[in-house]
Structure 1
């Protein structure tokens, strides 16, 4: 049985290489079930300390494939070209280019069975699934979504993505000790999906892949094989 192909969308201030490195344990856990394909966001981020600077649970700092090329999917502060998940804004900057980047990845590297996102990438995944269900992106054909440390965007122009619960099967993963995206923010995203499945863990801001989590991931993916 061929493994499921999953497009992976990194968090703010990460890139495809660093996210691949930080999800090494997950790739090992799911190697018989899923092939994880990583995409970098189109926007460079200034080297400054921000709301989503990785904490110690988020893996090592810059190294081979590290965060020396920080990237983002959109900016909540247009003037500063910065992002904070808690920042309320009327308009954002960069989302259209990021949707285009995903569209191109689907055309060139697809098809993909599912999509997984972490933190800002997880919030972006919810938006991409909304575009798919509104039939605004005919190239998208994701059958499931894995949303790790996700949240609802606080940007007014993004509220259109949350009009109706999304039908796509989803697994929502978040840490009870997450200080970057507190678990209540991840819970606020759940009503945007129909019948969301939830996996909580006792840790912070990272993608969990301990043996205790294996069964939940595997059972979820088994539905699509």
Structure 2
């Protein structure tokens, strides 16, 4: 405490990496964003519960180890319930978390957690997630065996959680990225010219991100008065 001023905390964000990568890799990927964005949050980077069961697409760029959140093929999604239990247990022990940031497979997870809380089917022992940042995230594809039981109704109603979606023009999952974004109520979009990655933020992308930060600031008027460096960000 300095004089009568209380040091405010930044919103805590749990970060969920992509398939066969890691929390450390995601940390490096978003490290290309400016401090005027990153400095507004307290990030926590978690590794998935399962070691990679095959080749990673980032082996030539980032060092191992690599992890998976769950496994999926055209027929079924395996270990999704175990992944949810793993995440909720971590959030209980290391939270509370205000928001989520997810890339690719992690983006899919980040997108469904607010809805599972609303349904009361999972993440009921942790505070409600207030916002999500989704990079190259996607809606789980249709499977021959049907979706995991927890996701049976998750896409049936709009997801009412403030969100920003980062989608690349050359992303091989672009259509599913947009499908997921359109499930949210009033989503913000950062469109970029590259592929399935975390892009640098150009002037337009930075402006959109700052709008999202302002929206978050309105949710935490007391906490963020001195915690978010919005003057520098805007």
Q: TM-score, structure 1 length as denominator?
A: 0.81
- State the alpha-carbon separation in 2 of the partners of residues 205 and 187 from structure 1: 13
**Partner of residue 197, structure 2:** 206
Asked if the contact 1:42–1:73 (Cα under 8 Å) also holds between the matched residues in 2, the reply is: yes
The aligned counterpart of 2:209 is 217
* Aligned residue in 2 for 1:69: 65
Kindly indicate whether residue 12 of structure 2 is the aligned counterpart of residue 5 of structure 1.
yes
Deviations for 1:86-133, whole angstroms, at most 9, x for unmatched residues?
xx32x3111112112221221122111110110111111122122112
Deviates more, 1:13-22 or 1:215-224: 215-224
In 1, the alpha carbon distance for the partners of 2:120 and 2:48 equals 23
Match for residue 99 of structure 2? 114
> What is the alpha-carbon root mean square deviation over aligned residues?
2.0
Question: What is the CA-CA distance between 1:163 and the residue it aligns to?
Answer: 1.1
Q: Which residue pairs with 2:139 in the alignment?
A: 152
Query: SS of 1:161's equivalent?
Result: coil
Match of 1:194 in 2: 185
State whether residues 189 and 208 of structure 2, in contact with CA within 8 Å, keep that contact through their aligned partners in structure 1.
no
**Contact (CA 8 Å) 1:33, 1:218: kept in 2 or not?**
no
Tell me how far apart the structure 1 counterparts of residues 110 and 91 of structure 2 sit (CA, whole Å). Answer: 14
Aligned mates of 1:178, 1:37 — CA distance in 2: 26
Q: Which range is displaced more, 189-198 or 207-216?
A: 207-216
In structure 2, the residue matched to 1:43 is 50
CA deviation map 1:143-180 (0-9, x unaligned): 0011111111113214522011111111111100113x
Q: Judge conservation of contact 2:138–2:180 (CA < 8 Å) in 1.
A: yes
TM-score normalised to structure 2 length: 0.78
- Judged with a 3 Å threshold, the aligned counterparts in structure 2 of structure 1 residues 31 and 76 are, in CA distance, closer, same or farther, namely closer
Q: Is the 8 A contact 2:107 2:137 kept in 1?
A: yes
Output the CA distance in 2 between the equivalents of 1:112 and 1:200.
Answer: 27
Q: How many aligned positions are there?
A: 201
Poorly superposed stretches of 4+, deviation over 3 Å? none
Which range moved further: 114-123 or 206-215? 206-215
Larger radius of gyration: 2
Which one of 65, 88, 105 corresponds to residue 90 of structure 2? 105
Q: 1:105 to 1:27 in 2, by over 3 A?
A: farther
What CA deviation, in whole Å up to 9, does each residue of 1:6-54 have, x standing for no partner?
11100001111111122212373423311211111101112326xxx24
